[in-house]
């Protein structure tokens, strides 16, 4: 798309803005997929602590909730979520 002054913009169907994925159709599928990927990456970083038997179970649960779950759900208040998206996040 030509916007004048020798500048061109590419037409895309989804893009990352402030860490969240936005799509042209306005649904949350791209954001949910990105969020799940971020959660798995955070989980993989914390596997040594989450599987350590020397760390109390209650502490591992708090670590999971505060790091993994919060990184997955960051910004989800603004998503137009469908039932399929909720099932994927669970």
Range 17-37 average pLDDT: 76
> What's the token pair of residue 67?
């790091």
| β partners of residue 20 | 17
Per-residue pLDDT of 31-82, as tens digits, reads 788 888 888 999 999 999 999 999 999 999 999 999 988 888 777 777 777 7
Residue-level pLDDT at 38: 87
Least Cα distance to 29 among 82, 71, 90 occurs for: 82
- Determine the distance from the C-alpha atom of residue 39 to the mean position of all C-alpha atoms in its chain, rounded to a whole number: 7
Indicate the burial class of 43 (C-beta count within 10 angstroms; 0-12, 13-18, 19 or more): middle
Residue-level pLDDT at 54: 94
């Amino acid at each position: 798309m030509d916007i004048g002054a020798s500048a061109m913009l590419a037409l895309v169907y989804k893009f990352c803005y402030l860490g969240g994925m936005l799509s042209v159709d306005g649904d949350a599928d791209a954001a949910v997929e990105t969020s799940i990927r971020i959660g798995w990456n955070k989980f993989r970083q914390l596997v040594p602590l989450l599987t350590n038997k020397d760390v109390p179970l209650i502490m591992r649960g708090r670590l999971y909730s505060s790091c993994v779950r919060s990184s997955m759900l960051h910004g989800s208040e603004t998503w137009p979520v469908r039932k399929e998206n909720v099932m994927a996040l669970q």
